[in-house]
Amino acid sequence: MSAVMTSSMPSAVTVPRSALGTKGWSMVLLAVIVVTALAPILNLLVPADSVFHLSDYALSLIAKIMCYAICALAMDLIWGYTGILSLGHGLFFALGGYAMGMYLMRQIGRDGSYKSDLPDFMVFLDWKTVPWHWTFSESFIAQMLLVVLVPGVIAFVFGFFAFRSRIKGVYFSIITQAMTYAAMLLFFRNETGFGGNNGFTDFKRILDIPIAQPSTRMVLFIITGLTLIGFFLMARWLVNTKFGRVLQAIRDAENRVMFCGYNPLAYKLAIWTLSAVMCGIAGALYVPQVGIINPSEMSAAAGIEIAIWTAVGGRATLIGPIIGAFFVNGAKSWFTQVIPEFWLFFLGALFIAVTLFLPNGLVGLWAQLRNGKKEERA
C-alpha cells in the first residue's frame, strides 16, 4: 500500500528530511541556552543601567510573542501541512487562557477589592457562590487538565462533524470564524461567569507564590520558551513520520488519498485536535505573564492574525511561523509606540505583499537569496 501511495501522490508533496542535522540541533541547543541561561542572566544579574540589561518589559514582550509563536506553529500544522485554514484558533487560545485565569482569580483570595473569597466581579454581581463550572477552579492540577481538555474536546466534536460532512476550503474558514464569534458573544455576557467584557485581571499569586516577583516571571518565561522548543521538535518529528506524509498528501490531493485506502477524517481530526490543544497551552502560558484575559482574545481579528503570522513566516516550514510571529508582533510593538495610527496600514500592506510577492514567506525569501548566492559562486 505504501508503494501505491507514494506513486500516486502528485509531485507537489514534499517529504522533509528525517533529522534536523548538526546545524539544526546546534540551533535548538542555542535556543535552549538563550532561554534558560542568557535571558535570566541579562534580566536578573546584569545591572539595570547596563546596555546589556534585559528589561522586565522586554522579557514580558518576548514571553508574549513566544506564546503567539506556539499558536502560529499549531496553525502551520493544519494549514501548511494539511491545507486546512482555520480562523478560529483564537478561541482555543482564549479557552486555555480562561482556564488558567479562573485558577489565578481564586488565588487572589481575600486580597481583592471586596475582601471576599469570591472573585471581585462575582461580588459586584451579588453572587453568593461560584457557578458550577468554577467547581475545580481552586485546584491547579484540575485547571491544567481543563487547559488541555476543553479546547481538545470542543475541537474534536466540531472537527468530527465538519470533516465528516467534508466541509473544507473557504466554507470551513467561515464556520470556524462563526464559532469563534459566537463564543466571544457568550463570554461577553456577565451571567456566564467569565467576567464579562473586562475578563480576568489583577492576579496576585500562582501556586501561592507572588506572581509579580522577578523569579516567578523568569520561571514562567523559561517554561514558555522550553514549551515552544518542545512543540517545534514534536512538530518536526510528526511531519517526518508516515502520519505527516499522509497529511501532506491530503493537502495536495485528498481524493487520491481516499482512493489509496486512507481515511482522511481520522488524520484531519487528529491534527486539528492537536493544534487546538497547542493553542490552549499557549493561552495558559500567556495569561499569568500578560496579566489579563478577556473576550477580545477570541475575536475574529485574533484568528486572522494567527494566519498572518504563519503566512508571513512561511507555511509548511515550521520555523517560518515562529519567525513570522516574532517579526509581525515585534513590528506591532514598535509601530504602536512610535506611529500607532499606521500599524493597521502596515499589517495590511505586509499581508498583501507576502501574498503577491512572497508566497513562501520570509523563509522562502531567505532560501531564494541563499540559492542566488550559490549560483553566483558557481
Give the sign of the dihedral formed by CA 293, CA 143, CA 158, CA 69. Answer: positive
Kind of pairing, strands 209-210 and 205-206? antiparallel
Which residues are paired to 209 by β-bridges? 206
Please report, for residues 111, 205, 206, 314, the alpha-carbon distance to residue 213 in angstroms, rounded to integers and kept in the order given.
17, 10, 11, 37
pLDDT digits (tens, 9 = 90+) for 201-230: 999 999 999 999 999 999 999 999 999 999
* pLDDT tens by residue, the chain, 378 residues: 333 333 333 334 444 444 688 889 999 999 999 999 999 999 999 999 999 999 999 999 999 999 999 999 999 999 999 999 999 999 999 999 999 999 999 999 899 889 998 999 999 999 999 999 999 999 999 999 999 999 999 999 999 999 999 998 999 999 999 999 999 999 999 999 999 999 999 999 999 999 999 999 999 999 999 999 999 999 999 999 999 999 999 999 999 999 999 999 999 999 999 999 999 999 999 999 999 999 999 988 899 999 999 999 999 999 999 999 999 999 999 998 888 888 888 888 888 888 888 888 999 888 888 887 766 676
Distance of CA 43 to the CA centre of its chain: 25
> Quick check: 303 and 342 in contact, CB under 8 A?
no
User: Any idea which residue has 481579528 for its cell?
Assistant: 301
Residue 356 CB neighbour total at 10 angstroms? 8
The confidence score (pLDDT) of residue 378 equals 62
Residue type, 359: P
Q: In whole angstroms, what is the distance from residue 94 CA to residue 298 CA?
A: 6
The domain locations on the chain are: 31-377
Q: In whole angstroms, what is the distance from residue 108 CA to residue 111 CA?
A: 6
**Containing H/E element for 291?**
none
The confidence score (pLDDT) of residue 195 equals 93
The confidence score (pLDDT) of residue 348 equals 85
- First CA to last CA distance, the chain: 42
> Quick check: 251 and 9 in contact, CB under 8 A?
no
The confidence score (pLDDT) of residue 52 equals 94
Which residues are paired to 210 by β-bridges? 205
> Quick check: 104 and 288 in contact, CB under 8 A?
yes
Please report, for residues 194, 200, 305, the alpha-carbon distance to residue 126 in angstroms, rounded to integers and kept in the order given.
15, 17, 37
The confidence score (pLDDT) of residue 374 equals 66
Which residues are paired to 292 by β-bridges? 201
User: Any idea which residue has 489509496 for its cell?
Assistant: 260
> Quick check: 61 and 290 in contact, CB under 8 A?
no
pLDDT digits (tens, 9 = 90+) for 261-287: 999 999 999 999 999 999 999 999 999
The confidence score (pLDDT) of residue 1 equals 39
Which residues are paired to 206 by β-bridges? 209
Grid cell locating 137: 477552579
Q: 97 exposed, middle or buried (CB, 10 Å; 0-12, 13-18, 19+)?
A: buried
Give the sign of the dihedral formed by CA 351, CA 356, CA 360, CA 361. Answer: negative
Residue 234 CB neighbour total at 10 angstroms? 14
Collapsed DSSP state (helix, strand, coil) of residue 371: helix
The confidence score (pLDDT) of residue 123 equals 93
The confidence score (pLDDT) of residue 13 equals 40
Residue type, 244: G
